[in-house]
């Protein structure tokens, strides 16, 4: 066998080997592309209540809400009196939170009417249960039967809605609660006052 023939055979063997490796890599690539989904999960989705999911773009767990700390606190009566201005916006609001087994509402006795109640829905990241536990630990289990607290809530305000919100759709407004900033017991004389007794809660 001549030297040229030997070199040709070696070159041919290398070409065949290179072609085989290329085919193997291409096959592996197709297999991997088929096995791995085209879209990966990008962590937790935004948390907001329907129908306007896009309006609160914060994650479902431990969001940084410090950006809202400089927002003014709106008295509840001002909020509902100018509801069109605040609809689908994040607000900090001060009012009276009323709660029992079928009721979770915000209002203010000074402007209470049948159409002025706001249903409270806590978002998963709001740690609302922790706030309620701290409230009971501070003021005692008797507060469960009293069912009222002065609060400052941060959340997304919605309404008015013809369909209604809450139990039996009894509320015209809703607050998707993002954070409990303050919660304290009403003074005993206020709790016993007829002014602070709900006349038509959202239930």
Residue 173 near residue 159, CB atoms below 8 Å? yes
At residue 63, the pLDDT reads 77
At residue 9, the pLDDT reads 66
Strands (E), 15-58: none
Q: Percent of the chain having pLDDT more than 90?
A: 36
Residue 200 near residue 114, CB atoms below 8 Å? yes
Which residues, in sequence order, are CB contacts of 71 under 8 Å at separation 6+?
90, 91, 92
Residue 107 near residue 118, CB atoms below 8 Å? yes
Q: Is the pLDDT at 200 greater than 50, yes or no?
A: yes
Position of tokens 């999911």? 53
| Higher-scoring residue by pLDDT: 57, 149 | 149
């Amino acid at each position: 066998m001549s030297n040229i023939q030997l070199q040709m055979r070696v070159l041919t063997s290398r070409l065949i080997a290179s072609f085989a490796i290329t085919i193997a890599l291409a096959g592996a690539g197709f297999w991997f592309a088929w096995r791995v989904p085209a879209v990966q999960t990008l962590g937790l989705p935004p948390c907001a209540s329907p129908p306007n999911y896009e309006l609160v773009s914060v994650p479902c767990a431990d969001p940084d809400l410090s950006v809202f700390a400089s927002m003014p606190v709106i008295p509840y009566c001002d909020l509902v009196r100018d509801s069109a201005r605040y609809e689908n916006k994040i607000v900090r609001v001060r009012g009276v939170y009323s709660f029992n087994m079928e009721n979770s509402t915000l209002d203010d006795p000074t402007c209470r009417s049948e159409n002025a109640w706001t249903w409270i829905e806590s978002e998963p990241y709001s740690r609302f249960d922790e706030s309620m536990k701290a409230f009971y630990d501070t003021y005692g289990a008797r507060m469960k039967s009293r069912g009222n607290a002065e609060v400052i809530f941060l959340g997304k305000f919605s309404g008015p809605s013809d369909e209604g919100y809450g139990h039996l759709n009894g509320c015209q407004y809703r607050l998707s609660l993002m954070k409990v900033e303050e919660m304290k017991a009403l003074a005993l004389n206020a709790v016993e006052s007829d002014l602070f007794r709900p006349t038509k809660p959202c239930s």
